[in-house]
Structure 1
Amino acid sequence: MWFGDLALSTAEFMEILILSWYILGQTESPLVLGIFAALRFTGTVIAPFFGVIVDSLGRRRIYIFARISFVILSSSIFILTLFDLLSVIAVLIIAALVGLSRSLDMIV
């Protein structure tokens, strides 16, 4: 489990760096970059409600769901990039969803 957390943290930091660089290169706007950073923390606002969900559904299920959602969201970035469909809007939406998933993962 420790190695999995280490791998996830390393991948998350690389993803933040690469997507920040992508957004800044596409928009040349520090404002959009700030919005990207803020969207990664959307789950913080909803975290108390996630605590209730975790207590009712069980930690193991939520842990598995959070990790699978990380894989799906990272894979969606890869697929969008592979087919040259990645846009700033898509990155912002995925950043918000990653923020929600990260909040779930931190609660567990």
Structure 2
Amino acid sequence: MHEQKEIMHLIQILLPLYDNEGKPFPQHEFELVRDELTERFGGLTTYVRSPAKGLWKETSTTTVHDDIVIYEVMTEQLDQDWWRGYREELAARYRQEMLIVRVSEVQLL
């Protein structure tokens, strides 16, 4: 007999460390996101020690890069409307045309 595995949703938020002019965002902006997510989901994981690099083609001859921090939360229920609104709010706060919030289903072993 197999026991049923628990399925969770892993949500990742990719936040830029710098604005479009190369100025670092103030630390309190990241602390605010941390506090908001911890309050709503009871905890989070943050990858900040060595920032991840985002690379993408802007045109056929130019590549843009961005240093990012990744915030992760896990939840049983996925409230897509809430996440869509929160992504839009973060995009405005971080002055981004597109801010990535992605979700994966994970199986706890």
Greater fraction of residues in strand: 2
Structure exhibiting the larger radius of gyration computed from Cα positions? 2
Q: Which has the higher helix share?
A: 1
State the structure with bigger RCO (CA 8 A, min sep 6), 1 or 2: 2
- TM-score, normalised on structure 2? 0.33
